[in-house]
Structure 1
Amino acid sequence: MTEKKWAVIDIGSNTIRLVIYAKSHSGSYKEAENIKTVARLNQYLNQENELRTEGITLLIEILQGFKEILAFHKITNIHCVATATVRQSKNQGEIRALVKEQTGFDMNILSEKEEAFFGYYAVSNSTPIDTGITVDMGGGSTEITYFENRKLIHFHSFPFGVVSLKKQFIKSDPVTVQERKRLAEFIQASFEQLPWLRNLQVPVIAIGGSARNIAQIDQTFKKYPLAGIHQYVMSFSDLQKIQMYLGQLTIEQLEKVEGLSKDRADIIIPALEVFVGLCEFSQSYSFMFSKKGLRDGISMKTNMTDEALLTTDQIINDSVAELLIDYGVDRGHASHRAKLAETLFEEIGTYYPCENKKTLSKFVKKGAGLYYLGQYIDDDSSSQHTFYLLANQSINGLLHKDRLKLAYIASFKNKTLLKQYFAPFSDWFTKKEMEDIRMAGAVVKLATALDASKRGIVTKIHFEKTTADTFQLLIFCKGNPFVEQYETEKHIRQLEKVLHKAIQLKFIQSE
């Protein structure tokens, strides 16, 4: 695509959204605007499964409002898609014609398979989960998929969602035990139709507004110290606790729950019943929220030139590459110091026992590439800004703990500052993990010093043990390394403190 902006209109059964994507410096499309309106179209379906005139009128009024916004932004590339309610409507032909006549939008009514596929596709290209279950619960349908090694294996669309389940099963306020029992039995019977879903024992990745609200409530309960909910993981017991707590509240009380949108207060209970029931039926006890869903799947599918499925490493590498461009990092310098850090880590690894060396090596390489990215904001406090930026923004492919680990390494300055960064997350890491992160940070800091002039003159490094208490670092250069030598001598003590050994530096200059 060559346009600087394009848009997706998502006509759901509960909400209708306009999402505008803008091309970033890296060339990828990022969400620039996300405008939501609650329509509850599902409530306008009559007994003959026709969308009543009131519902069609409401839909067109909303779309006409979106049309004004799109005209303001001068966007002509528009994907207008409709899901369950319009798909289930027997008068969908009439709806499509009226939408075209009164708004000019060509409304594409997604099939059950298409809706399920786009959700799966977004998850498989933005999270580290290779094998799992996706569940996208809207107002009028619920799409479930099972993917293995990132390939879609099974999909199913149930003709029920939060709005229709609430309408069918919940009449009381608060919900009664009998109502919840009937709802749970219905959900169980529905899952029984899918023998491939039973006892899969893989992570459940939930998409959509109800799942987002549940993740936000859990973060509020836990006073979660990080920003962002994409790739946020909850345990099954966390899910059950929220189910029990919210299940006893009135709608008025639910409207005051922190993290729960007021417009979802009356429909959150059916969503929880489905999520808990799904985890129980599939014996899946890891529940993750994905911010990337249907609209992102459409965007990815539209803009990806390579049809091959991405690996987790590719997803992370693409995200890191975007960060380097967005924050104006010199990519040549970043690449060189990443290679130096990787080599140095391998050399030191012979003498330093760390847990999961292969995985930590990847963090060292990425951390070196992103080192002191916070200089973009302020050079004097670049460590603090680097830590905050990386710790508090979503990085596709990295779970929150791993994102934090990357932030520690890329922002490393000294032990004292690292301890300050560790303080709110002391129960997230073992003592050994903290020691390994400190070592990785010291390696990255030293690798950055070895390319201080950004000329890439260090061609080779070799780390060796000379005595019981001393190491030697041989540094081969193809130019005068006076800047690198000064910076390396200044920062070598961070690595010496980690290894509890003296390190002698020897710069060797080639002709």
Structure 2
Amino acid sequence: MPDSFLPMSSPPIPGSVSPRPVAVIDIGTNSIRMAIAQIDPQGRVSMIESLSQGVRLGKDTFIRGEITRGTTEECVKVLKTFRKKLAEYQITRPDQIRVVATSAVREAMNRIAFVDRIYVATGFNVEAIEEPEVHRITYRSIKDQLLSHPELDEARVAIAEVGGGSTELLYVDGGNVAYSHAYRLGALRLHESLESLRATQSKLRDIMEGEIQRQLETLPTHIPPDRKVELIAMGGDAR
């Protein structure tokens, strides 16, 4: 989970040397994850603990178009458990916690009702982040890695983060983001779309490859095909 998700650091308090404990919760397509860290007065981030619990929000959104009551209550149960863990680290104030959600919540027709239910039941204010913010966070999370490798710092690099709901693509040319887009080619989204079809494995493969090619057909207009491009794949689904 990128450090960029963490709550913004408050200005250091004069004479204060104690690290500030913070946390971020990511409500994703397949799971809810939490990272707990501390930020020292110089702004350095040290991870303390991480937790993850599977909840298939994407299965609801990508098939039904909305998050069911049962899945919502699963999320409530997980987040209440996370709230207790945060209390152990004395992380209780809103400025210490950031809760974000991506495509499975953002695309749900009842996302407002979902966010309201989470807030009432747990006190967490869920932020369904839009694609531009996701792109910004992705780039910030990998920028230092690019700078630490001279062969990548000035190169043309395509960064693909494969998630459950979408595949986010960033094209970086000489350290600057020249193109970014989120394609609806997430692993779970494709799986759920193909599962309803009665076809052989080879036919399903052809359908999947055709859908990928269809969505990526305009890519050469943004990433010149006649130039060498380094590819970096990110995300659990890519691994």
**TM-score greater than 0.5 by the shorter chain:** yes
Find 2:215's aligned residue among 167, 179, 190. 190
CA contact (8 A) 2:161 2:235 kept: yes
Question: Partners of 1:27 and 1:141 in 2: how far apart?
Answer: 32
Gaps of 5+ in 2: 1-8, 13-18
Q: Counterpart of 1:407?
A: none
Structure label with greater radius of gyration = 1
Q: Counterpart of 2:23?
A: 7
Q: Secondary structure of the residue that 1:192 maps to in structure 2? A: coil
CA contact (8 A) 2:30 2:58 kept: yes
Partner amino acid for 2:229? V
Q: Counterpart of 1:63?
A: 79
Alpha-carbon RMSD across the aligned residues, in angstroms, is 2.2
Matched, 1:132 2:151: no
Deviation at 1:83, TM superposition (A): 0.3
Question: Partners of 2:231 and 2:140 in 1: how far apart?
Answer: 15
Question: Partners of 1:52 and 1:119 in 2: how far apart?
Answer: 29
Find 1:180's aligned residue among 184, 201, 205. 205
Matched, 1:29 2:45: yes
Give % identity. Answer: 27
Q: Which runs of 4+ in 1 moved over 3 A?
A: 23-27
Q: Which has the higher contact order (CA 8 A, sep 6+)?
A: 2
CA contact (8 A) 1:40 1:139 kept: no
Question: Partners of 2:174 and 2:29 in 1: how far apart?
Answer: 31
Q: How does 1:40-79 map to 2 (within 5 A)?
A: 40-45=56-61, 49-76=65-92, 77-79=96-98
Gaps of 5+ in 1: 214-511
- CA-to-partner distance for each residue in 1:190-228, whole Å, 9 max, x for gaps? 1113331352531111221123x3xxxxxxxxxxxxxxx
Question: Partners of 2:87 and 2:72 in 1: how far apart?
Answer: 22
Q: Counterpart of 1:143?
A: 168
Partner amino acid for 2:223? L
Q: Counterpart of 2:189?
A: 164
Q: Secondary structure of the residue that 1:18 maps to in structure 2? A: strand
Aligned length: 210
CA contact (8 A) 1:84 1:159 kept: no
CA contact (8 A) 1:191 1:197 kept: no
More helix per residue? 1
Q: Counterpart of 2:5?
A: none
More strand per residue? 2
Tell me the TM-score normalized by structure 2. 0.80
CA contact (8 A) 2:36 2:49 kept: yes
- CA-to-partner distance for each residue in 1:22-45, whole Å, 9 max, x for gaps? 236975102221111121211122
Partner amino acid for 2:184? P
Partner amino acid for 2:128? I
Deviation at 1:65, TM superposition (A): 1.1
Question: Partners of 1:27 and 1:144 in 2: how far apart?
Answer: 29
- CA-to-partner distance for each residue in 1:240-276, whole Å, 9 max, x for gaps? xxxxxxxxxxxxxxxxxxxxxxxxxxxxxxxxxxxxx
